[in-house]
Homo-oligomer: A and B are copies of this chain.
Amino acid sequence: MTALIGIDWGSTNMRAFRFGASGEVLERRASPRGAAGLTPPEFESVLTETVADWTDGTTPIVLAGMVGGRTGWREAPYLPCPASPSALAAAALPLDTALGRAVILPGLSTRAENGSADVMRGEETQLLGAGLTAGLVVLPGTHSKWATLEQGRITTFATAMTGELYALLRHHSLLGQLASEGAFNEHAFARGVTRALDAGNFAPLLFSTRADVLLGDLPPQAVESYLSGLLIGGEIAGFGAKPATLIGNPQLVARYETALRLAGINAITIIDGDHAASRGLWAIGECL
């Protein structure tokens, strides 16, 4: 018997969890048909194809992520922080589907002291599923999220475009042209991290990638690792090195762990991304 169907529907893929009565994950499935480019009828088809046999038409379905974005199935406006599981559940948008009643969760918004805004959509389920009531949670990625939790609520967060900047610099910039394929180079990575931490910023150091190669100080095979170190070190310097819980892709999380240790932080907890997403979907679903 299925107590809840939870769907984490991002831009590039969709992950589905079938929960039992006490929140245990009975089954999980994934589809490569992410929200980017799907039309509303296509969302409905993908949902049906993926999980129709999990429901008798009465099982509640919770949808999170870009499925609720402006170009998603239906737009669920951003909910301002602070946000608890029950606040997200209360703001969820009801939706009739071929599989019965579903809800689309809103994303979250916040505003910094200088007035600048920030938004997330989908990451809130992982953050609320991290098992923390208070502390800093970092989700490294294309758009890394640094979120602060207090009393089980997400109180504020900030985004660094580290992964996207890395891809832009690697594939479209003059720096990327200098790079050769090479295995991950720990030494070059650590040098990049340390320099960016010392400078408090990666930007004034980016061009050193080119200069170091031209002067023979950096092998072309180590350009990717050095650049990754500069950007991750700069992200940590920009937001402040603090004890943190890291959630996400294990290879990327390992780089952030190394960089945080270079910044003098040893209190680091690592949580699997799939596990956190499923825990968060269940916690929100329970409040519906």
Contacts and interface: CB of A to CB of B under 8 A. Distances in A.
A217 B169 CA distance: 28
A165 B159 CA distance: 18
B202 A116 contact: no
A116 B229 CA distance: 14
A118 B160 contact: no
B114 A161 contact: no
B161 A207 contact: yes
A160 B206 CA distance: 7
Contacts of A78: 214-215
Interface in A95-125: 109, 112, 114, 116-119
Contacts of A200: 200-201
Copy number in the complex reads 2
Nearest to A146: B204
Interface residues of A, number: 44
A27 interface: no
Q: Which of A70, A117, A169, A217 has the most CB of B within 10 A?
A: A117
A211 B116 contact: yes
Contacts of A1: none
Contacts of A206: 160-161, 165
Given A114-B195, A200-B200, A201-B203, 11 more contacts: A112-B208, A117-B211, A117-B212, A117-B214, A118-B207, A143-B207, A161-B173, A164-B174, A168-B168, A168-B172, A203-B238
